[in-house]
């Protein structure tokens, strides 16, 4: 990590780092070329054509088509390279691989709280294995923060009431800086931490060393203690929608629109359940605004993610924890009605499909 020479850029420690640096180098080179060229000619002309010099001053040329085309086409081409190259990297950064490992991040004045899928928690430290894609789902408990790992060349705002995603694949073991990159109050500058990249074996040992129950298990407990079961289980009297397979599902709303049930929608369903009513249901769900922390919301969401569209959810304990984050997204399932019309064949397909999908997690 230390080097004796002057360091212009942070170490390159993720799969994005080199690509970002090359693009950055290109931007710098283009800017430097034009800056030096323009300033150089300004100085040159102001000396050569200064008032009292006897330089030859030909009459003004009105137009030169070739010259004009050149200075339109060349900068256009140069900036299109920036656009296409930048967009390509942007898309790569915005689409985490399917087999990514999930980690949940909550920003708070002035610390980073991290929850791993198996329940392990840490503060201002994030341990990850080397060479494995990691997907962060991040939210804030108070103001806007920004999660920034310079060595990985990634940064994203962390916004209250919303979930931001970020992913990376660390390429070498080590300890790297984590910063909050958005001024968030008095002790903003102290909102720092470390990313610790470990060999898979060390990481497994580190992760296994926990007594916490997994995120989904904690969520399952909340689901009972907070009374969700009384409306969202098959045999409840007051009926709420069946939540099996809810994550990633296309939900039809009262107003006829369709929404994908990802983190943001599920969070809103808890805090402002009447904002988007599920088709066929009345506004019977109480708001849990102020009754649960962001971390508990993440636990409930984790739990709901494990609810694959199988008829019972007693199988939760047997789910390998590594597969929790990647419950296969159900294809567009039948629109939710109080009595879900899941055909037996559809269920079978899901059943036989899920173990295969969780294979790469090992």
User: What is the rounded CA–CA span in Å between residue 256 and residue 269?
Assistant: 17
Neighbours of 279 (CB within 10 A): 16
Residue tagged 């098959």 (tokens):
234
User: What is the rounded CA–CA span in Å between residue 33 and residue 354?
Assistant: 55
Contact range with Cu ion by CB under 5 A, out of 47-55, 112-120, 172-180, 194-202: 172-180
- Closest contact distance (angstroms) between CB of 228 and ligand HEC is 3
Q: Which of Cu ion, ligand HEC, none interacts with 274 (beta carbon under 5 to 8 A by kind)?
A: ligand HEC
Q: Which is nearer to ligand HEC, 159 or 226 (CB)?
A: 226
Q: Which is nearer to ligand HEC, 62 or 238 (CB)?
A: 238
Contact range with ligand HEC by CB under 6 A, out of 119-127, 142-150, 284-292, 307-315: 284-292
Q: Does 31 bind ligand HEC (CB under 6 A)?
A: no
Neighbours of 322 (CB within 10 A): 16
194 and 175 in contact (C-beta within 8 Å)? yes
User: What is the rounded CA–CA span in Å between residue 11 and residue 177?
Assistant: 10
Q: Does 228 bind ligand HEC (CB under 6 A)?
A: yes
Neighbours of 349 (CB within 10 A): 14
Number of residues that bind ligand HEC (CB under 6 A): 27
H runs (alpha helix) in the chain: 17-48, 65-94, 200-208, 215-225, 229-232, 263-271, 294-306, 321-324, 344-357
Q: Which of ligand HEC, Cu ion, none interacts with 251 (beta carbon under 5 to 8 A by kind)?
A: ligand HEC
184, 216, 251, 307: which one contacts ligand HEC (CB under 6 A)?
251
Q: Which is nearer to ligand HEC, 112 or 223 (CB)?
A: 223
Q: Which of ligand HEC, Cu ion, none interacts with 145 (beta carbon under 5 to 8 A by kind)?
A: Cu ion
Side-chain half-sphere of 160: how many Cα atoms within 13 Å? 9
Residue tagged 């640096």 (tokens):
21
65, 91, 238, 256: which one contacts ligand HEC (CB under 6 A)?
238
CA-based radius of gyration for the chain? 27
User: What is the rounded CA–CA span in Å between residue 253 and residue 243?
Assistant: 15
13, 138, 170, 191: which one contacts Cu ion (CB under 5 A)?
191
Across-strand partners of 160? 140
Q: Does 105 bind Cu ion (CB under 5 A)?
A: no
Contact range with Cu ion by CB under 5 A, out of 35-43, 173-181, 197-205, 313-321: 173-181
37, 97, 190, 227: which one contacts ligand HEC (CB under 6 A)?
227
251 and 261 in contact (C-beta within 8 Å)? yes
User: What is the rounded CA–CA span in Å between residue 295 and residue 106?
Assistant: 7
Q: Does 145 bind Cu ion (CB under 5 A)?
A: yes
Tokens for 299?
């636990």
Q: Does 336 bind ligand HEC (CB under 6 A)?
A: yes
Residues that bind ligand HEC (CB under 6 A): 226-228, 230-232, 238, 240-241, 243, 246, 251, 266, 269-270, 273-274, 277-278, 281, 283-286, 288, 300, 336
Residues that bind Cu ion (CB under 5 A): 145, 180, 184, 191
């Amino acid at each position: 990590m230390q080097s004796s020479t002057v360091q212009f850029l942070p170490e390159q420690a993720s799969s994005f780092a080199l690509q970002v640096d090359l693009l950055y180098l290109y931007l710098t080179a283009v800017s430097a070329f034009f800056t030096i060229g323009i300033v150089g000619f300004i100085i040159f002309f102001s000396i050569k054509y200064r008032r009292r010099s006897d330089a030859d001053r030909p009459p003004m040329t009105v137009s030169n088509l070739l010259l004009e085309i050149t200075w339109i086409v060349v900068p256009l081409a140069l900036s299109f390279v920036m656009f296409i190259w930048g967009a390509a990297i942007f898309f790569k950064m915005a689409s985490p691989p399917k087999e990514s490992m999930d980690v949940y991040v909550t920003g708070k004045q002035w610390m980073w709280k991290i929850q791993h899928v198996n329940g392990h928690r840490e503060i201002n430290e994030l341990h990850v294995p080397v060479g494995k894609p990691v997907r962060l789902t991040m939210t804030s408990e108070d103001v806007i923060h920004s999660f920034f790992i310079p060595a990985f060349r990634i940064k994203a705002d962390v916004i209250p009431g919303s979930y931001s995603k970020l992913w990376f694949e660390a390429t070498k073991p080590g300890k790297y800086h984590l910063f909050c990159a958005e001024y968030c109050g008095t002790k903003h500058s102290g909102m720092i931490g470390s990313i610790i990249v470990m060999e898979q074996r060390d990481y497994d040992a580190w992760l296994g060393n926990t007594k916490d129950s997994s995120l989904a298990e904690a969520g399952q407990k909340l689901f009972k203690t907070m009374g969700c079961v009384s409306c969202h289980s098959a045999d409840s009297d007051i009926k709420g929608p069946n939540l099996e397979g809810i994550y990633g599902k296309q939900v039809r709303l009262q107003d006829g629109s369709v929404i994908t049930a990802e983190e943001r929608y599920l969070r809103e369903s808890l805090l402002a359940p009447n904002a988007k009513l599920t088709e066929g249901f009345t506004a019977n769900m109480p708001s849990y605004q102020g009754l649960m922390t962001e971390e508990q919301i993440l636990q409930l969401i984790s739990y709901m993610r494990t609810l694959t569209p199988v008829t019972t959810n007693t199988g939760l304990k047997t789910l390998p924890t590594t597969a929790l984050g990647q419950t296969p997204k159900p294809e567009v399932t039948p629109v939710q009605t109080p009595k879900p019309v899941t055909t037996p064949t559809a269920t079978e397909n899901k059943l036989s499909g899920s173990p295969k999908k969780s294979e790469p997690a090992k």
